[in-house]
Chain A
């Protein structure tokens, strides 16, 4: 079945350093979503990427969708303590809500002040 993998599992950075998490799917995706979950909280939707090679930015966060639509990355520039949490990617193969979204295991980010 479809699998979505993420690396690294954990990342500890000094405040101000950059951070990148990578997401890889075993199958071609129609879109990929990214979520952030703060400790003790629930996942919150950040963004969805649809097009091959797409790059989107949200302030210090940059999201990329690979050319083959099988991988994606999230890059945070100059991390802050508010960036602490687990970042999940989630891939969908089909175009409609009938198609299941499969979540990766997440990357847990710790930021040392």
Chain B
């Protein structure tokens, strides 16, 4: 039981590049979400999904896309990276309205 797995752990992008942050969970959790964490800002919700085929926007969705084709996977796509997207990204999942299990995070730097 691996929990929530995020890849890569570290990434450096040039402005304008695109990439996909991967998130997979093996707990059969229906709910998955992406947060970004910036100093002094706490965790801000980017996008979330309550099941395969269902996604919705969070607090800061601009510049990011998501899809949920399976229960296990919830990738986050950066369409055209900007320096303002430099952050630590966490994927989280839960079973219903219970506490979240977080992945170990992806540290992204956009130069």
Contacts and interface: CB of A to CB of B under 8 A. Distances in A.
Interface residues of B, number: 26
B21 to A, nearest CB: 14
A62 interface: no
A98 B50 contact: yes
B11 to A, nearest CB: 16
Interface string B75-111: 0000000000000001010101111111111000000
B90 A106 contact: no
Contact of B97 (A92, A103, A106): A92
B36 to A, nearest CB: 11
B40 A100 contact: no
Contacts of B98: 48
A97 B58 contact: no
B96 A97 contact: yes
A106 B41 CA distance: 8
Interface string B36-71: 000011111100101000000011000000000000
A2 B41 CA distance: 15
A45 B101 contact: yes
**A: contact size bracket:** 20 to 34
Contacts of B40: 9, 105
Contact of A44 (B42, B94, B102): B102
22 contacts: A1-B59, A30-B97, A33-B99, A33-B100, A35-B99, A41-B104, A42-B90, A45-B100, A47-B99, A88-B42, A88-B43, A90-B100, A94-B97, A97-B31, A97-B50, A97-B94, A98-B50, A99-B97, A101-B100, A103-B43, A105-B40, A105-B41
B88 to A, nearest CB: 9
A96 interface: yes
A30 B42 CA distance: 21
A85 interface: no
